[in-house]
Amino acid sequence: MKEAGHYDALTGLPDRGYLWSLLDTTIKQIRRTNRNSGVLLVELDDLDDIEGILGKHGLEEYIRKMAGRIQNCLWDMDIVVHFEPHQFVVVANSIQKQEDIHIVLSKVHEYLSLDCEIDGRKIEPKASIGVVLLPSDAAETDEVMTNAQTALQMAKALGGNSYCYFNQSLGDKIAEQETIKKSILETLAEESFVLMLQPKINTETRKICGAEALVRMLDSDGNIVAPGEFIPVAENSNLILKIGDWVLNKAQALTNELIKQEINIPVSVNISDVQFKNGASLLATLHKLVEENDNIASNIILEISENIITNDVELAKTLMAEIKAIGYQISIDGFGSGFSSLSVLSDLKIDEIKVDRHFLSNVPNDEKNTAILKSIIMLGKAMDFRVVVMGVENESQFDILQQHQCDEFQGFLVSAPMKAGKFVSWYKEYSPKQL
């Protein structure tokens, strides 16, 4: 609660006397609840020049307008304080994760940068901002403002109208994540993600028996962005839900196109952990696809990671039973990395297990890994699951899979992932004799 008497006459905002109690309370709450917060020290640039243009009263009106802009762009739990005549402090208690501070920072900097008109004169506002993350950058009240001033000086050293984090390496990482988020949103808006297909091969007949659809993002030059660069960012920001829906819809259209080309094989689609946790939304999308195409479910295999299942077995059982009832096949992706109970595995309504590529490491040279791989294949077969091994790269590994009656495999031994158009021509030219 804001204390009576601690208000600035010019802006109506809490003043610096209130700031110290606010920071003290914030730090105590962080220690008690183990949450995050952040502080922005905002300095209005070029005030001497602006006073020269507007005069003293015009400058005061300018500062009032800038104070209002900061206040109006903040979330409910954020508080702005008028710290010095030319400085404001934003305490961002609304953030959940450290990277959320960049959202607050961007909004403040963007709002302050908008042109304003005072007494008929157009002003182009500029501001420098120092950023401190709590608790990682400061543990005591005095330390917060000392470090914020350091970050502000770093921003001013860049020439003004900029911002810097006290921990600039962390700030660079956060800024990079925000840039990726922006690229993801632009890619979604333009529908310019790409689905790559990697063939799955029947180990006995050596014929193509399916394909895995892998989403890829293109950069501004049309080059493929490595999934490790954008998928983690998408998962942390829940943008993966939008990407997941796009992939499912695109997989439906792609499956229909393959059938028109007389390529009738199932397409596997990865379901992210975030999608699976949002079960109601996932089921709604799956039902919608079936309403649009009655036969789509039988042509799509949903790959669900083993780890998300083990985190909440009862939820997984319920959700997977509903998915099966719609008609989709289910594959456990990365099998072998998380199951602690075979009874759990036997209760799940699944069709396929995809063995984690870790177990193929150094096979057949590593006797222990080879023995483990054989045991997993035997276990899957005994439980009447279709067994798929990922990451097959050479003939020796393929021979091991054949010897132990593994059902299917995929990997660079056959082909790297390829765009849909290339997959169609590759499929028609492929011969089992190639293996």
- Residue 108, in any domain of the structure: yes
Amino acid at 131: V
- Residue 265, in any domain of the structure: yes
Give residue 157's pLDDT. 86
**Residue 44 shares a structural domain with residue 72:** yes
- Residue 11, in any domain of the structure: no
**Residue 105 shares a structural domain with residue 237:** no
Please tell me the total count of domains within the chain. Answer: 2
Instruction: Please state, in angstroms and rounded to a whole number, the distance separating the CA atoms of residues 154 and 168.
Output: 10
Instruction: Please state, in angstroms and rounded to a whole number, the distance separating the CA atoms of residues 51 and 121.
Output: 12
Residues 6 or more apart in contact with residue 48 via CB below 8 angstroms: none
**Residue 132 shares a structural domain with residue 281:** no
With contact defined as beta carbons under 8 Å apart, do 303 and 272 qualify?
no
| Whole-prediction pTM | 0.66
With contact defined as beta carbons under 8 Å apart, do 404 and 370 qualify?
no
Q: Which of 283, 285, 289 is nearest to 325 (CA)?
A: 283
- Residue 6, in any domain of the structure: no
Residue 54 sits in a domain whose CATH number is 3.30.70.270
* Beta-bridge partners for 131: 40, 165
- Residue 173, in any domain of the structure: no
**Residue 307 shares a structural domain with residue 225:** yes
**Residue 193 shares a structural domain with residue 317:** yes
Residue 373 sits in a domain whose CATH number is 3.20.20.450
Give residue 74's pLDDT. 92
**Residue 332 shares a structural domain with residue 373:** yes
- Residue 339, in any domain of the structure: yes
With contact defined as beta carbons under 8 Å apart, do 68 and 103 qualify?
no
Query: Which tokens go with 258?
Result: 């393959």
With contact defined as beta carbons under 8 Å apart, do 301 and 268 qualify?
yes
**Residue 219 shares a structural domain with residue 316:** yes
With contact defined as beta carbons under 8 Å apart, do 12 and 80 qualify?
no
> How many CB atoms within 10 Å of residue 354?
27
Q: Which of 409, 387, 356 is nearest to 208 (CA)?
A: 409
Residues 6 or more apart in contact with residue 2 via CB below 8 angstroms: 14, 18, 79
Give the C-alpha distances (Å, rounded to integers) separating 426 from 198, 213, 416, 419.
Answer: 11, 15, 11, 10
With contact defined as beta carbons under 8 Å apart, do 214 and 197 qualify?
yes
Give residue 141's pLDDT. 86
* Beta-bridge partners for 79: 91
Please identify which residue in the block is written with the tokens 């593994």.
406
**Residue 226 shares a structural domain with residue 370:** yes
**Residue 117 shares a structural domain with residue 210:** no
Q: 207 is in which domain, residue-wise?
A: 178-434
Concatenating the DSSP letter of every residue in 271-290 gives EPHHHHHSHHHHHHHHHHHH
Instruction: Please state, in angstroms and rounded to a whole number, the distance separating the CA atoms of residues 14 and 6.
Output: 6
Amino acid at 8: D
**Residue 57 shares a structural domain with residue 87:** yes
Instruction: Please state, in angstroms and rounded to a whole number, the distance separating the CA atoms of residues 29 and 323.
Output: 42
Residue 79: φ, ψ to 5°: -130, 135
**Residue 218 shares a structural domain with residue 276:** yes
Pairing type for strands 78-84 and 87-92 reads: antiparallel
Show which of 166, 193, 208 is a domain's final residue. 166
How high is the mean pLDDT in each 10-residue block of the chain (435 residues)? 68 92 93 92 94 93 95 92 95 90 90 91 93 91 91 88 84 74 73 88 96 88 81 80 92 92 95 90 93 87 89 86 94 76 75 89 86 90 92 92 94 93 93 76
- Residue 171, in any domain of the structure: no
Helix H or strand E segment including 154: helix 141-157
Show which of 166, 198, 222 is a domain's final residue. 166
**Residue 68 shares a structural domain with residue 128:** yes
Show which of 107, 133, 166 is a domain's final residue. 166
